[in-house]
Amino acid sequence: IALNSNFVLANIPIVGEKLEAFVYSQAGKLTDYKTIIGDSVEDNDVKVILNEVILDEGQLLISSTFHTKLEGDDLAYNWFTDINVYIDGQKIQLGGGGGPQEITESYINYFWAADIGHIDLQKEKSIRIVFNDLRRSDSDKMLKGKWAFKFKASGENLIANSKKIPIHHRFTLDSGQEIELEQLILTPVSSKLDFKMNNIYDDVYFKIEDEHGVEIQQTFGSYSNYENNYENYNRFAAIK
């Protein structure tokens, strides 16, 4: 166990154009779990393409491309957009992480993992994703726009190839912080360790190793307050 008082939810490494690279998976391995969109919306001379999404346990992975006309100093900065996600008409407000993967004069590849909480992935969901504005990381420049997409997706196939491993192990740190490891959820996309904490003094993250002692790459973790208890998770790459 390691303690980190500066845990940042959005600290996700972005390493490729396809969602497989976003979650450290082999190219083409997640094809059966994707919803390919390919739709485009244009506003204020900026065209956005929603490439593909994956409904995973507790998260919606989003791959998009902004077609822009950047030049000069613009190429020296990162660019970010505000993303709103609606599932079955309800706005999801649980956070997420990601950002630009590649920035050129003509396009920005943008990945995002939206935290969607506990929903039934076996039922088809009506999903709406709205991208709001594109701003330079120094906040000195913004490309105004609103790009909205509607589609349906299901995680039924992913759930059929997932499993939950109960843990139910409790321990207490020297600080008096109480931790309960609840379960490990293994999907073709990620490995999610659920745990609860009480008497919280520090953020906590864990390391997971496979049967060969090889550490599994961590992606990001989050915590939310539910009925005075803190329900947490750490998310890792899928265990092969």
The per-residue pLDDT for range 46-60, each reduced to its tens digit, is: 999 999 999 999 999
Higher-confidence residue: 69 or 18? Answer: 69
pLDDT higher than threshold 80 for residue 235: yes
Written as one string, the DSSP assignment of 31-86 is GGGEEEEEEEEEETTEEEEEEEEEEETTEEEEEEEEE----GGGGGS-EEEEEEEE
* Residue 27 confidence (pLDDT): 82
State the average pLDDT over residues 141-147. 96
Distances in Å between the alpha carbon of 127 and those of 116, 187, 213?
11, 21, 39
What is the rounded CA–CA span in Å between residue 126 and residue 88?
5
Q: Report the phi/psi class of residue 53: left, alpha or beta, with left for phi > 0 and alpha for psi in -120 to 50.
A: beta
State the average pLDDT over residues 164-169. 95
pLDDT higher than threshold 80 for residue 11: no
Closest CA to 195 of 148, 166, 233, 157: 233
Whole-model pTM: value is: 0.85
What is the rounded CA–CA span in Å between residue 83 and residue 1?
33
pLDDT higher than threshold 80 for residue 100: yes
The CA radius of gyration of the chain, in Å to the nearest whole number, is 19
3-state secondary structure of 201: coil
Tokens of 83: 């993303």
* Residue 220 confidence (pLDDT): 59
158 alpha carbon, distance to own chain's centre: 16
Eight-state DSSP code of residue 209: B
Q: How confident is the model at residue 10 (pLDDT cuts 50, 70, 90)?
A: very low
Tokens of 91: 């706005």
pLDDT in tens, 118-131: 889 989 999 999 99
Higher-confidence residue: 189 or 198? Answer: 189
What is the rounded CA–CA span in Å between residue 66 and residue 138?
19
Tokens 């303690």 locate to 3
